[in-house]
Amino acid sequence: MGASVRYSPDIKLTPMTTESDMSSFYFIELIGMSVGGKDLSIPSAVFAAIRTIIDSGTTVTWLPPAAYSALRSEFRQHMSKYSPVAAFEILDTCYNFTGYSRIRVPAVALQFSAGVTLNVDASGILLFASPSQRCLAFASVDEDGFSIVRNMQQRTFDVVYDVAREMIGFGAGGCG
């Protein structure tokens, strides 16, 4: 048996699972989201139908179509004072912030089982596509794919993979 791993008490843990035929993936249970402090009205079946993995090696988070649609709709309402621009690859919610010295971006939070909430840092909400184009760093996944919480949304957090205890942990104060 390996040594016990110690980490900050500020780390909040949510259960993870692996499957023998997919042992290189760590699954977590995404159960909800909020934008601007408002919980999005997304039926739990939406998240249950498409399993969620956590991945630190790729960029933007993929969500089930209905969850992404709810996130995008609420996000766009908060961003209505900014000029929308054309999509960038799979990212369909993009803005031109030329001429703005300050930009107000609504908070986005991902909610996991065991009461764990990941309040996404502002640097993980918009992707810099070009000098005149910034896009919401979330996209819709195909119905037969996985939801994936990716590295942009993990920025500024300590992320703990406690494989022995089958837990994933999030804590403030990681690299930014």
Instruction: Output the six-digit token pair for 22.
Output: 């997919």
Confidence grade of residue 174 (pLDDT, cut at 50, 70, 90): low
The answer on pLDDT for 46 being more than 70 is yes
Tokens 């996944």, residue?
141
Domains in the chain: ranges and CATH: 12-81+106-117+138-172 (2.40.70.10)
Lowest mean pLDDT among 29-33, 110-114, 151-155: 151-155
Tokens 């995008």, residue?
72
List all residues 6 or more positions away from 3 whose beta carbon is below 8 Å from its beta carbon: none
pLDDT in tens, 71-90: 999 999 999 999 999 999 99
